[in-house]
Amino acid sequence: LCIRDNKYPLTPDYESSHLVEAIDHALHTHVLEFVYQPIVNHVRGEVCAHEALSRPQVDGRAIAPDMWFRAAVACNRAREVDQLVVTLSMQSFALAWPENPPTPLFVNVTPSSLTEKMFLEYLEILFEEGILFPEQLVIEIVEYVPYDITHLSSIIQTIRSRGVRIALDDIGVGSNTFTSIAVLEPDWVKVDRTLIRGISGTPAKQEFLSRLVHMMGSGERIIAEGVETLEDLETIRSMGIFKSQGYYWSAPLSVPQIQSLLQTIEQKRHELYKLMETLVWTDPAVLGKSEEIDRLVTLYYRLWNKTKNAG
């Protein structure tokens, strides 16, 4: 069933947790669960994108994403898995916003898939059938699967010519971080959470981020992952980083959770309109309701739990 080699060996842990069976089951049933985490422009105070996170399971137990991707590569099923992830993540995401899904959506893809002609042809089919539009998609290249930077660079140019954008994930954990950035010239780089957590009190992490900002020319195209505290957020903000992602803002949300939250926003908008029938804009009650809606719309990720508990 699997192609075992020295480059991507399957460990006993993979086999004991039945990862291969989980991959086969997902490909056979065309079913895979997703959650979506907002990416925040904390300078402007708004959601600017989302990342699709697959949630594969085996016997009711979650599988770590890196194990999932590595097992798919080891079993020579990475292209099929990536095609499934791109298709289902976008289709599922569109359910939350049936009229006008927000863009862009960041989707993790293994670098080996990008070098396969069949994967690129599959993307073209999605574009032609209107299932997915190029400008909606940001391909996040995972760093924990090795790749040939030079070869991948030529492939990326073809993909980007169609309007698809590219992000490098897990920046800072690999040995070729700065080489990858220089050669691939990604639209965004995502700094690994291990380098962001606790950065407010870690000069070495701050130094790495400063070097990265200098290399990128600014912090506009850098996304800090794993932001969990106000102190870390203020630190990266002070260093010129524009975007962040992490539990400080929101846990990843399922489509039903997003739909429920959007319904809450609409309900509060209706309440605002009713207030305006009898009150003026400057009335404290109107201003308070308007501010509440603004927070839900632009910072809904932080208020999700409050909204859910209140309902």
Is residue 309's pLDDT more than 80?
no
Query: Which is nearest to 197 in space by CA: 181, 213, 173?
Result: 173
Distance of CA 221 to the CA centre of its chain: 14
Is residue 15's pLDDT more than 60?
no
Give pLDDT tens digits for 79-127: 999 999 999 998 888 877 766 666 789 999 999 899 999 999 999 999 9
**What is the C-alpha to C-alpha distance for residues 86 and 307, in angstroms, rounded to an integer?**
30
Same fold, 12-244 and 255-310: no
Q: Where are the domains of the chain?
A: 12-244, 255-310
Angle of the 149-160 helix axis to the 177-184 helix axis, nearest 10: 40
List residues bridging with 248 in a β-sheet: none
Give pLDDT tens digits for 194-234: 999 999 999 999 999 999 999 999 999 999 999 999 999 99
Asked if the bond preceding 104 is cis, omega within 30° of 0, the reply is yes
For residue 20, give every residue at least 6 positions away whose Cβ sits within 8 Å of its Cβ, in sequence order, or none.
Answer: 1, 2, 10, 14, 71, 75
**What is the C-alpha to C-alpha distance for residues 77 and 116, in angstroms, rounded to an integer?**
12
Cα-atom radius of gyration of the chain, to the nearest Å? Answer: 21
Is residue 146's pLDDT more than 80?
no
Helices (H), the chain: 12-16, 19-29, 65-74, 78-96, 111-114, 117-128, 149-160, 177-184, 203-216, 230-238, 255-276, 284-310
pTM for this model (two decimals): 0.81
Give the pLDDT of residue 226: 94
What is the band of 132 on the pLDDT scale with cuts at 50, 70, 90?
Answer: confident
Query: Which is nearest to 94 in space by CA: 260, 301, 255?
Result: 255
Answer yes or no: are the C-beta atoms of 134 and 162 closer than 8 Å: yes
Superfamily of domain 12-244: EAL domain (3.20.20.450)
Q: 255-310 adopts what CATH topology?
A: MYOD Basic-Helix-Loop-Helix Domain, subunit B (4.10.280)
Give pLDDT tens digits for 167-189: 999 888 766 778 889 999 999 99
CA-to-CA dists, residue 40 to 26, 31, 155, angstroms: 31, 29, 29
**What is the C-alpha to C-alpha distance for residues 144 and 110, in angstroms, rounded to an integer?**
9
Span of 6-15, 151-160, 221-230, 279-288 with lowest mean pLDDT: 6-15
Give the pLDDT of residue 44: 81
Answer yes or no: are the C-beta atoms of 58 and 19 closer than 8 Å: yes
Give the pLDDT of residue 81: 92
**What is the C-alpha to C-alpha distance for residues 285 and 304, in angstroms, rounded to an integer?**
22
Is residue 71's pLDDT more than 60?
yes
Is residue 20's pLDDT more than 70?
yes
